[in-house]
Structures are given as structure tokens and as C-alpha cells.
Amino acid sequence: MDKVLEERLAAKDSYIDIHDFYVLMAFYQSISQKVLRKFDKDGSILEVQKKYEEGKEMVQDAQFVIAPQDTYYHHYQMYKANKFEYVELVKSLYNIEEKNPKLKNIFQDVRGSTSSLPSETAFEKIDSRNEVSFEENLEIIKRSSGAKDNYDYTSKNIRKLITKLVGSKKEGVSIYDPALGTASLLLGINQAALKENRYYGQDISTQAIKTAIMNAIVNDIAEDKFEFKNENTLANNWEFGKVDIVVSDPPINMKWNVDRNLSQDRRYRDYGEMPNKADWGFILDGIDKLSDNGMMVVSVVQGTLFRGAKEYNIRRKLLEDGKVRAVIQLPGNTKLSTTIATCLLVIRKSSEDKDVFFINASQEYEKKGLENILTEANVDKIVDTFNEKKGEQGFSHMASYEEIEKNDFNLSVARYVNQYKFKEKLDYQEEIKNLEKLDEKLSQTDATLKNLMGDLGLMEIDN
């Protein structure tokens, strides 16, 4: 037996928590799907697995080399037959690493001959019977884990909106995300030239970087086309050059203990002392990475738009320089991690004017369960309005720099786009009739309630 495999099997326990394990299994499922579909494009994935095992030969010209007994679906079938063994899973994952050099050590945290994790629950947690994408499984895992996981995930409808705001080009572009998370937002940009784009991203979470790399791999991004760093973005200025596009969905209300040495950091020195909330730190890092004609779209909480003191100084400087181009208010409860309403800031590295376009899209959603979802129609309305810079009563408005200055550089959308509607003239007689009807209904309800309580012996009814 190989020494590395021996060491993995001899380990007392896995060095991985259950949520990270689910992510690895989702990745394992995705690469297994690629191999099985190279073997046979037709039939259900479980039928193809059965044929693959009967053939007993590996698919050699697929993106990955995985033996029939080493696929995710082999172990899923063992699980369904009550024959699943954790040690066999560890062996399979090691075999895959050995046959696929670009996956070296990606499964190294799955180790031990037995697991303290309820590892077999992964087959139920992720959709094992159907061909679900890695991103879809990430969303399933995120929904079930809530705030317990180690990565941030931008919901699909918000990603779609940001992607359309940025636009699409046939040629490759360079893109950066200073708060990378799973890289789902980053990799969704300019998909028309997916293989030609260059991707850069940073995240302080080791698990987030691992997940982002998996995401790039399942999206068939060549190794020399992406660079993801496990670094503290706010503290370390990554000098990799300039990019065409920056997109980001930084952690909400993240605290920032600002190092005094950062006062001379090129990213921050023109904006005064940095605040103890990290929102503007990520934004200024993104601006620093933009090329002269670059564009940035970043998700922020509403407080970023109006908080005073140090944040006021940063906001004012950006507005004076004409860098803030648009503010888009989104509905509340559209993110997986919070019900807080958020906004999108659209920023340009350089601009000819200082006007800012405001869109109040707080009512542009469809209720789906406990969440508010941006439909295709909602997204298109926002994007079309943004592209045309079209003013619409109660929805959008182009504010001049002078107007913003009069509002003391407060960028709260409600200051510029009022959605409240008032009746021009109140019909008092009609309102009195409505109140009388309401009073009558309340009296009837009160009588019914008293009768019910009397029947239950909870009170005496006066005849």
C-alpha cells in the first residue's frame, strides 16, 4: 500500500467538519458526472454508472480519470444497499488524486479508517439521484447549514443581476473579487468567453479558497487562467496588476481592526482614517485593482450609504472624484445569509461627470417560501433602466452632484427615489362609511368570541 494512503487510513480522525465534507462530496459528485457522461451521454446517471461498472474499463479521454469503483455513484449505490464503508471512500478519493495530478491533495482531509462524522448523510444532503451542478449543491448545503459554514455564497438571483449589469463581451476579460467566497459570483461574469477570461480572487478563509478552486475546476477553467489567494485582503495589497471588472459580495457588517501601518497603504491613504467596519476597505481595494476604464459592482448594506464620521469622508471623496456611478436598492431577504436589505454600488475608475443614478428596486421581487426572489423580469427591468439611465417616478432618478451635496453626501436611495403614493384628495364620507363597516365587523367578531368562550366555560354569557 502507498505510504501516503497508509498515513491517511492510520489517522485517528478526519480533519474536516461535516459542512466542508459535504462540499468535497459535491465536488466528487460533479467530477464523477463528467466521467460518466463521457462514457455515455444517454440514460439516467445511475444507469450509466451500472454500465460503467459492467464494462470494468476506465474512460481515458475524459477531463478526469476515475475507475468505475471509485466514482461517487459507486459509493452512493453501496450506501443505498447498506454496504457503504468509509474506508473504501478514503481509498477511492486517494486513487482519484493519484490518477489526476491537478487534484493532488484536494481530498487529503478525508482520512481515517472510520469517521466520527455522519459521512453517509452526504448522500442525502446533496442531490444524489439527479445530475445537479456543483453550484446548485453549494446552495443546498448553504441553505441547510445557515451561518455555520466557513464560506459566503451569493444567491443565484443576485449573481444574475450583477452579471447582467457588468455586461458580456466576446473576448476574454480580467476579473477580480476581493472577498472570493466560493467564486460563484466571479466565475459567472462574462461566461461567453469563460475559457479566455482571467480570474483573480482572495479570501481569508482556507476552506473558501479550496471551494473556489473546486468551482474553477468543475467549470473547466485552465490552471493558468485563475489565481486564488488565501490572504487577508484588507491587510495585504496583492500586486497582480489591473483588471477590467471587479465584483464582490463582502461579508455583512464585518469588523475591521485597522492596523496603523495601513495609513500609508496606496489603497487607503487618499481617504483618511479607515473605519472599523470593513465594507469600504473591500471597496477601496477593488478600486485600486481597476484599470482606467474598469467597472466595479459590489454588494453593501444600507448603512454604508449614510453612516457618518470616517465612512462619510470616504464616501464624499469618491463622489467628488466621480467614481460612484449608481446605487441600486434591492429587496430585503434576497440573500441566503441574512434578511437585511442590501444595495449594489456601481463604481468606475474614471468618469466624465459626478452625477449618480439611483434605482429603488425594493419592490421588484416575487415571494417564494420565506425568501424574496428576483425574477427574470425583475432583473431585466433593473438592468434596462440602468443601461438607459431612464428616470421613472417612484423607481429611478439621476441625481446631480449638487443634489447629492445638498443631501450631505448621503446615498440612501430613499432620499432620491420616493415610492410613497398619496391620494390627492381624501373622500371623508367614504372613509367614514369604511370605518363604520369595520366597527360592525369587530362587533360581530366580539360576539362570536364571547359565545365560543361561553361554550368552553371560560366566561358567563349575559342574556
Higher pLDDT, 250 or 121: 250
Supply 147's cell numbers. Answer: 451561518
Instruction: Using the predicted structure, report yes or no on whether residue 355 has a pLDDT greater than 70.
Output: yes
Query: In this model, does residue 1 exceed pLDDT 80?
Result: no
Distance CA 330, CA 319 (A): 21
For the segment 188-225, what is each residue's pLDDT rounded down to a tens digit? 999 888 889 999 999 999 999 999 999 999 999 999 99
pLDDT tens-digit series, residues 285-344: 999 999 999 999 999 999 999 999 999 999 999 999 999 999 999 998 887 667 788 999
Specify the range with the lowest mean pLDDT, choosing from 36-50, 125-139, 425-439.
Answer: 425-439
pLDDT tens profile 97-106: 999 999 999 9
User: Distance of CA 154 to CAs 121, 135, 333, 336, 363, Å?
Assistant: 25, 11, 12, 7, 20
CA 96 to CA 78: how far, in whole Å? 18
Side-chain-facing half-sphere of 460: CA atoms under 13 Å:
2
Give pLDDT, residue 147. Answer: 47
Partners of 248 in beta bridges: 298
Q: Give per-residue pLDDT as tens, 377-418.
A: 999 999 999 999 999 999 999 999 999 999 999 999 999 998
Strands 290-301 and 342-348 turn out to be antiparallel
Q: What percent of the chain has pLDDT over 70?
A: 92
The number of residues in the chain equals 463
Weakest-pLDDT range from 18-22, 24-28, 287-291, 410-414: 18-22
Residues 132-164 have pLDDT tens digits of: 899 989 888 887 765 455 556 688 889 999 999
- Tell me, what amino acid is at 151? Y
Q: What is the mean predicted confidence (pLDDT) over 48-67?
A: 87
